[in-house]
Structure 1
Amino acid sequence: MKVLGIESSCDETGVALVEAAESGTPRLLAQALHTQIDMHQAYGGVVPELASRDHIRRVVPLARQVLGEAGATLADVDVVAFTRGPGLAGALLVGAGVACSLAAALGRPAYGVHHLEGHLLSPFLSSDPPAFPFVALLVSGGHTQLLRVDGVGRYALLGETIDDAAGEAFDKSAQLLGLGYPGGPALARLATFGDPTVFTLPRPLLHSANLDFSFAGLKTAVRQQALKLGPNVCEQDRAHLAAATERAIVDVLVHKSIAALRRTGLDRLVVAGGVSANLTLRELLGAAAARRGVRVHYPEPALCTDNGAMIALAAAMRLQHEPLGAGDGYAFDVKPRWPLATEPVAA
């Protein structure tokens, strides 16, 4: 079974082709990705209308590229998968519309995938895939969640952010420091030149009884410290504040992840989403996990951000465990807000 996956939830257009047998981990045949970073930089963030229009321009050429690199044709595609949500409504509609139209033209089923499930399962395409069960830390610009994962579609929420996600904290703090878009990677680069102990910043909910997160207070503290430093702050102080901000976010993520492992009694952790590429997070979480004898799994670097491979993979893994619908009528909808606890269904 070959699954063509289309990702268009925000500011990256991704297309990929995955092949799956009746059992075993599906394998990636080819993928292509276009990022809209350059287009949105002038506005300091994602402009939804521009994002949607760019997806329209990119998705078909990317699909042709993927099929060519995989040595496949449209006739070889058995299922067309797409991101159904969560994400920007207009952007989601582009991917859903193209996927369902293509599926209808081919007489093949279309399958709507949960974006976060794609991230959660993406490490199965890595050179060191995990095994069920495990604790998952989903950490990105829009989401920060801890889940117990017992199998495909078997997810129990352990904790989540009550305000800003970790990725938002990175991006908004970067903006306060006068860094460009996207802010998270820029802040992490600047932090490598700073000392995280120079400034003291809060770690919200670090010692709370639950596994929830909160990063809004940290963002406020960064703002107050930036105001104290003033508009003429030297580059070294900016680097120190960037390092302190990064360490505060990472400390919370590490502490909560280890607490989730302790609470569940599991010894395997999956970290996925855009922030999973952060090197400080990987270093400190790896050290903390090693002290407990815990294995940590990450997506390959190219699969940390939004991509079509994770969408095709999630659909393929779902379809290894459930019947394939006929796709009657090829009607579709999108879910800009969609809790991961809700089961994805075929369109």
Structure 2
Amino acid sequence: MEKDMKILAIESSCDETSAAVVVNGRDVLSNIISSQIDIHEKFGGVVPEVASRKHIEAISAVVEEALQEANTIMEEIDAIAVTYGPGLVGALLVGIQYAKSLAYATNKPLIGVNHIEGHICANFIEHKDLKPPFVCLIVSGGHTFIVHMKDYGDFEVLGQTRDDAAGEAFDKIARAIGLGYPGGPKVDKISKEGNAEAIKFPRAKFDGDTLDFSFSGVKSAVLNYINQAKMKEEKIVEADIAASFQNAVVGVLVDNAMKACKMKKVDKIVIAGGVASNSCLRETLTKEGKKRGIEVLFPAPILCTDNAAMIGSAAYFEYKKGNIADLTLNAIPNLKLGER
């Protein structure tokens, strides 16, 4: 019987400092997340320099807490994993330098993990029996992708955003209607009080078979609607704007996801990333999936956020393929999915 593999994982790509202990890529013994949301909220978004400093302050305590909660000592850890891209370069470097130092001091293997791949692998934690192939819709503040996961670590990108990520658009619209940061959860909440059909915002379509996205148009349309309403001194119903905007974005995400399943002849789709917590996206995908006989899976909300458990899961499959990093591992802020 193969020995269990216990990985200590570190994530610091944006504004969450996280450490986790994960066994065999699927069983989470601990997943500690130190969030900076309250700090960045007053700025209306993440300030990279502030995020880096806060990572430095938090990382040692977060790693120690992860080991304690997992009832594990370093001698029992088989490998150390860390996110090395994509993300904010300063934030990434804090986690990478800490992980490299720990790997060197303890003589443990070091595994570099792609942050986007980590989001996909959160589903292996939530759904213990999940296996490729499947289609994955990755939707977060910095990324919007549709990928075909052929095998563990083997991805084909079918579509991606050509401008704003979906989560980025949510944040900008939230600011425009006075909801503040972080925008995604606040737009989702207020949308429940609004009429999603009140305003017809545009949905970007491209010629040909592309599954790419564009959210700059709908964002601009919302901003123009608000400005025109103010100029005409018309009443602005924030809940209707939020619900109509969300309806437009979710409609495009779901349409393209369903097209991807048909294109690749798969009957399973998983969603990942921060916007995967959006209730409208979950409900609409599930409803459309049932119509077409497509199973729709998603992680618990805590695994949709940036967290180290998902990094530990991805690291396990990288290790199984022999992808071990050395101490020259560096941050790649624009790292593409599937690149090493």
TM over 0.5: yes
Deviations 1:67-97 (A, max 9, x none): 1111111111111110000000000000000
Give the SS at the match of 1:171.
helix
Aligned to 2:293: 293
What is the letter of the counterpart of residue 221 of structure 1? Answer: A
Deviations 1:278-324 (A, max 9, x none): 0000111100011111111111221001000011111012212x236
Q: TM-score, normalised by structure 1?
A: 0.93
CA 1:110–1:285 in 2, change beyond 3 Å: closer, same or farther?
A: same
**By how many angstroms is 1:121 displaced?**
1.1
Aligned to 1:342: 339
**By how many angstroms is 1:110 displaced?**
1.3
Aligned residues: 335
- Measure, in 1, the Cα distance between the counterparts of 2:234 and 2:314: 46
Aligned to 2:19: 15
User: Hey, which bits of structure 1, 4+ residues long, moved more than 6 A?
Assistant: none
- Measure, in 1, the Cα distance between the counterparts of 2:278 and 2:128: 18
CA 1:191–1:211 in 2, change beyond 3 Å: closer, same or farther?
A: same
- Measure, in 1, the Cα distance between the counterparts of 2:108 and 2:275: 35
Deviations 1:29-72 (A, max 9, x none): 11100111000011111000000000111111111111111111
Aligned to 2:242: 242
- Measure, in 2, the Cα distance between the counterparts of 1:176 and 1:42: 15
* C-alpha contact (below 8 Å) 2:26/2:128 kept by paired residues: no
Deviations 1:106-153 (A, max 9, x none): 011111100000001111101465221001111111111111111112
Deviations 1:168-212 (A, max 9, x none): 111111111111111111111111100011111001117763101
Greater Cα offset, 94-103 or 169-178 = 169-178
Deviations 1:222-270 (A, max 9, x none): 00111122297757x1110110001000000000000111111110101
- What are structure 2's unaligned runs of at least 5 residues? none
CA 1:37–1:69 in 2, change beyond 3 Å: closer, same or farther?
A: same
What is the letter of the counterpart of residue 282 of structure 2? Answer: R
- What are structure 1's unaligned runs of at least 5 residues? none
- Measure, in 2, the Cα distance between the counterparts of 1:14 and 1:282: 25
Give the SS at the match of 1:137.
strand
Taking only the aligned residue pairs, the percentage that are identical comes to 42
Q: TM-score, normalised by structure 2?
A: 0.95
* C-alpha contact (below 8 Å) 2:44/2:180 kept by paired residues: yes
The Cα RMSD (Å) is: 1.6
Aligned to 2:153: 153
Aligned to 2:322: 323
Give the SS at the match of 1:80.
strand
- Measure, in 1, the Cα distance between the counterparts of 2:95 and 2:40: 19
Map 1:218-233 onto structure 2 (within 5 A).
218-230=218-230
